[in-house]
Structure 1
């Protein structure tokens, strides 16, 4: 699956399973949110623990994701995966960014995936998973690419 990169990150790609090193700004936060969201969704059985430990903020939500991820087996790359087209910055502070990731599905429809990242003490953005009490679904259908989307070059 093609995951976007740009001058704002990732800057460190070792290990390749969990690239990190995103600029401490809006575009860096958005790229980190996209990177972590995609990687946690498609990580193979031998990769997901590295993805979880290196790209997802620690806490009860990551613990719950880990418990659920153990129950799933992914042994081959995704076939005909969706394409990340761009993002909308919903809220940004130097400590947290809320992003809507706009994706084209294989049937030609579009979705918006809500993702949040937090700036860590280690100096990088980490995906902040919603807690189990959240009633808002993270993915919703959208009609095409919304006008306020920052379209990523070479993606859609």
Structure 2
């Protein structure tokens, strides 16, 4: 289920029972909250992308940034999942998840979703060395510092692909 944004509790439970994997694209909430509130109202917008609910139900859930569709890369998505910050303020803070959970959704869970957990998702022997090097330690970044991290290098399959 792409985005998993508007699924209510009953739909989430059914998706989990059926084994349907879910992806969350948190930057869509950040970027479009104001427009969505105009059409759907603040209560419905606050319920969008309920990562906490999906995780608590035991869903096979992963996350992405929707980059380059949106202007956010992966770490901004992690920041959004942990803060629920949008262009018009915090929406649905009860759906926030921890940094560790958000990072897992972008790494090991994303590899599991694509059927590539035997190749990527963790830095272990016999797996591809896919990783991003940041200008600061993401685990120690707080608030806007996490949001504003910039990658210095991207390595895919052991090869540096950015910067070029």
Query: Which one has the largest radius of gyration?
Result: 2
Q: TM-score, normalised by structure 2?
A: 0.28
Structure with more relative contact order (C-alpha pairs < 8 Å, separation 6 or more): 1
Please identify which structure carries the higher strand content. Answer: 1
Q: TM-score, normalised by structure 1?
A: 0.29
